[in-house]
Amino acid sequence: MSLSDTISSFFENLPAAVRAAFWLLLASTTFLLMMSLARHLADDIDMLVIVFWRAMFGVVFMLPWLAQRGLHVMKTEKIVSHFTRTLLAYGGMLCLFYAATMISLADVTAIAFLRPIVGSALAIVVLGEAALGRRWVATLVGLIGALIIVRPGLIEINTGVWIVLGAVLINSFYAILGKYLVRTDSPDTVAMYMMLILTPISFVAALFVWQWPSGEQFLWLILFGALGTLSQRTLARAYHAVDATVVMSFDFLRLPIAAVIGFVLFAEFPDIWVWIGGAVVCASSVFIAYRESVAGAARSA
């Protein structure tokens, strides 16, 4: 057995939650690095153009996988769901990238912790799931944590905060669709469909503000596309390993990663209220994930 086969076998024998945590840690790191690059490039290139190149290079980096596996791996019965998920991804991506140019990465990350809480509330309102007391309590606690972070009335809530909140709402639907798709389609197939659909959509939008990047910017955009592709493929694997609620419970890993990247690249360091509020929101998210997992196991039994 080769070394790669040994490593692969060892990894597959790890508990599903450990594998999910590894994939989410990698997905979070690559996505935050991508946000940092978007912030760096946004001074000279319009964000609509940046997102187009992210999608374009995403397709390029996925082509070797497609050539190796063959076109049959693209077979799906959920093309409408793929299209809808891509539109949500486009909107959420733009919101987060724009927000990263207005507020610190740690602030963006801490506020984005609201996603599983919003997702739980949406499951009640949109999907008609049981309006259990624990869900409403966790939602209320999560909102208190968000208020600690943004402190309305004590500090000015700028546009970046509102944009992140919009991204939270969009990405809650995006996450639910992602878990739905990987039930039947492979994680790489899901990532490939997103890139294929996102490229023409983002190109049409970019035409209105089109500008060609310089040679150096082009190299940054290639790295941008590589990070985006890696983020999508690793996130899909995290959702494939365990339930979405369990994946969301690992979201707390993103805050220290965002703090380190923001400090190293932009000399940013989140204040104590971001850490306190983020901890409150995370605790609420973990509580929801734990209780939903217990309830799901009881229903299965």
| Residue range of the domain that includes 172 | 17-300
Residue 117 has pLDDT above 80, yes or no: no
Amino acid (one-letter) located at 4: S
Residue 135 has pLDDT above 70, yes or no: no
Q: Give the per-residue pLDDT at 156.
A: 58
- Overall average pLDDT of the 114-127 stretch: 64
Is 3 a member of any domain? Answer: no
Is 8 a member of any domain? Answer: no
- Overall average pLDDT of the 55-80 stretch: 80
Amino acid (one-letter) located at 66: L
Q: Give the per-residue pLDDT at 204.
A: 92
Q: Give the per-residue pLDDT at 207.
A: 92
Confidence band for 13, pLDDT divided at 50, 70 and 90: low
User: Reduced to 3 DSSP states, what percent helix, strand and coil does the chain have, rounded to the nearest 5?
Assistant: 80, 0, 15
Percent of the chain topping pLDDT 90 = 4
Q: Which residues pair with 246 in a beta bridge?
A: none
Q: Give the per-residue pLDDT at 203.
A: 92
- Which residue did the predictor score with more confidence, 291 or 161? 161
**Lowest pLDDT segment from 25-29, 64-68, 98-102, 125-129:** 125-129
Is 241 a member of any domain? Answer: yes
> Helix 254-266 and helix 105-112: axis angle, to 10°?
170
- Which residue did the predictor score with more confidence, 83 or 236? 83
Q: Give the per-residue pLDDT at 154.
A: 47
Q: Give the per-residue pLDDT at 116.
A: 66
- For the chain, give the mean pLDDT: 75
Block residue for tokens 């703090």:
259
Q: Give the per-residue pLDDT at 12.
A: 66
Torsion sign (Cα): 74, 78, 80, 84: negative
Q: Give the per-residue pLDDT at 206.
A: 92
Is 6 a member of any domain? Answer: no
Is 131 a member of any domain? Answer: yes
Rounded-to-integer distance, Cα 237 and Cα 6, Å: 19
Residue 33 has pLDDT above 80, yes or no: yes
Residue 85 has pLDDT above 70, yes or no: yes
- Overall average pLDDT of the 17-44 stretch: 81
Is 9 a member of any domain? Answer: no
- Domain total in the chain: 1
Q: Which residues pair with 155 in a beta bridge?
A: 152
Is 1 a member of any domain? Answer: no
Is 60 a member of any domain? Answer: yes
Most confident segment among 138-147, 225-234, 244-253, 280-289: 225-234
- Which residue did the predictor score with more confidence, 179 or 223? 223
- Overall average pLDDT of the 215-243 stretch: 80
Q: Give the per-residue pLDDT at 153.
A: 46
- Overall average pLDDT of the 146-171 stretch: 72
Residue 121 has pLDDT above 80, yes or no: no
Strand intervals (E) in 63-144:
none
**Lowest pLDDT segment from 48-62, 105-119, 138-152, 187-201:** 138-152
What is the H or E stretch that residue 171 is in?
Answer: helix 159-181
Residue 105 has pLDDT above 70, yes or no: yes
Largest CA distance in the chain: 63
